[in-house]
């Protein structure tokens, strides 16, 4: 007898939304428009869930993650969404080393569909820890100092209590920016973070981290390749500002446990949409709590990805900030798309 929670259909879509604005995430890249890779999971009882991830970066062509979903679709259809964590674990074990975009999207979509089937938002299924979370503006990268200073003033005027800069990644430029921000906002009423996209040398990262430690900066994110744990350990010892991993390259409980136990990072960073889905995020949050470190979940992307991450942040103890792409309009496509309209948007607020 069919169960209303049985998965009957899995669909995938890949496209570049019309409002997608070509953007750069570090000063050494050309502007690029980000694609959205969407997955929808339908249950026998009619409930549907959706999830997404970005493509168009680092050679990831449109459709690459949807193709990952297509390769595992036969294992998904017919499975019961009430046992989604077991299915995700099986798929991860078979896939080997991550990141796992296709599996992660399927897991998030199953959680979404299950929550809709039982009439509960996902964050409440996860424990319903809170209803609100502070938000920081996550900027693109710029080529001029004037652009960085202008967006800083604009986002502060909009009410953001914190701003994360995707940095130019020219060492002298970045140090000058840190000095200017420290001079203008050193009282600390507004907090700042930087993201180097894993492009610093070790010496550059030390210089930048030492400069940031004198100002209103909460963390230095992704200064080095995620896989170089030895360098991260040494960097974390050399500077007084918190050090974060990129969160989208080195994933999985074993890697996170090793990085945290070696004190390579001050906080744990990951994205549920590439690190094993919400099912794996639950374990990651437990690991961070056991090791007494904060979590900074990555949520830069289209709304379906933002909200999947947000539900974990709201549902469980440990995360400090919600990362909000700023400006946000280029990533609002799911709010208007017939493929995913309303998905995961279950009465949650980020402030």
pLDDT of residue 347: 30
Among 206, 268, 253, 263, smallest CA distance to 230 is for: 263
- Rounded mean pLDDT of 175-184? 98
Residue 351 pLDDT > 50: no
Q: What is the pLDDT of residues 2-50, one digit of tens each?
A: 699 999 999 999 998 888 888 899 999 999 888 999 999 999 999 999 9
210: which residues sit within 8 A by CB, 6+ positions away? 238, 239, 240
* DSSP per residue, 68-114: HHHHHHHHHTT-BGGGHHHHHHHHHHHH-SS--HHHHHHHHHHHHHH
CATH code linked to domain 124-336? 3.20.20.120
Domains of the chain, by residue range, sit at 7-120, 124-336
Q: What is the pLDDT of residues 275-316, one digit of tens each?
A: 999 999 999 999 999 999 999 999 999 999 999 999 999 999
pLDDT of residue 337: 66
172: which residues sit within 8 A by CB, 6+ positions away? none
pTM over 0.85: yes
Per the CB < 8 A criterion, the answer to whether 26 and 169 are in contact is: yes
Of the pLDDT bands very low, low, confident and very high (cuts 50, 70, 90), residue 115 is very high
Per the CB < 8 A criterion, the answer to whether 42 and 7 are in contact is: yes
Q: Which residue has the higher pLDDT, 61 or 100?
A: 100
Q: What is the pLDDT of residues 332-350, one digit of tens each?
A: 888 766 555 444 443 333 3
Q: What is the pLDDT of residues 268-286, one digit of tens each?
A: 999 999 999 999 999 999 9
CA distance 186 to 189: 8
* CATH fold of the domain at 7-120: Enolase-like; domain 1 (3.30.390)
Tokens representing 240?
Answer: 């007084």
H or E, element range at 288: helix 277-290
What mean pLDDT is reported for the chain? 93
How buried is 161 (Cβ within 10 angstroms: 0-12 exposed, 13-18 middle, 19+ buried)?
middle
How crowded is residue 216: how many other Cβ atoms within 10 Å of its Cβ? 17
Per the CB < 8 A criterion, the answer to whether 221 and 266 are in contact is: no
H or E, element range at 217: strand 217-221
């Amino acid at each position: 007898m069919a169960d209303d929670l049985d998965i009957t259909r899995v669909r995938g879509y890949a496209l570049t939304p019309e409002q997608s604005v070509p953007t750069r995430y570090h000063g050494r890249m050309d502007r690029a428009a980000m694609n959205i890779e969407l997955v929808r999971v339908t249950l026998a009882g009619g409930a549907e869930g959706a999830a997404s991830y970005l493509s168009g970066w680092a050679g990831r062509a449109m459709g690459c993650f949807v193709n990952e979903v297509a390769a595992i679709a036969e294992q998904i259809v017919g499975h019961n969404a009430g046992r989604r964590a077991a299915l995700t674990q099986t798929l991860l074990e078979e896939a080997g080393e991550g990141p796992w975009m296709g599996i992660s999207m399927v897991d998030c979509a199953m959680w979404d569909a299950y929550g809709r089937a039982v009439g509960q938002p996902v964050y409440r299924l996860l424990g319903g820890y809170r209803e609100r979370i502070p938000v920081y503006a996550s900027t693109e990268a710029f080529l001029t100092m004037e652009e960085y200073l202008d967006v800083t003033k604009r986002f502060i005027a909009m009410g953001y209590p914190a701003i994360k800069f995707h940095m130019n990644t020219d060492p002298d430029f970045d140090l000058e920016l840190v000095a200017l921000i420290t001079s203008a906002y050193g009282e600390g009423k507004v907090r700042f973070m930087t993201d180097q996209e894993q492009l610093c040398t070790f010496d550059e990262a030390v210089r930048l981290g030492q400069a940031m430690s004198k100002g209103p900066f909460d963390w230095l994110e992704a200064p080095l390749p995620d896989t170089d744990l030895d360098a991260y350990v040494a960097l974390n010892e050399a500077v007084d500002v918190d050090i974060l991993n990129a969160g989208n390259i080195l994933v999985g409980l074993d890697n996170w446990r090793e990085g945290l136990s070696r004190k390579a990072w001050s906080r744990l960073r990951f994205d549920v949409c590439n690190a094993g889905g919400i099912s794996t995020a639950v374990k990651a949050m437990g690991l961070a709590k056991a090791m007494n470190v904060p979590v900074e979940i990555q949520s830069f992307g289209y709304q379906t990805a933002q909200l999947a991450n947000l539900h974990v942040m709201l549902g469980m103890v440990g995360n400090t900030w919600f990362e909000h792409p700023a400006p946000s309009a280029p990533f609002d496509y799911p709010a208007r798309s017939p493929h995913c309209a309303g998905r995961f948007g279950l009465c949650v607020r980020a402030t």
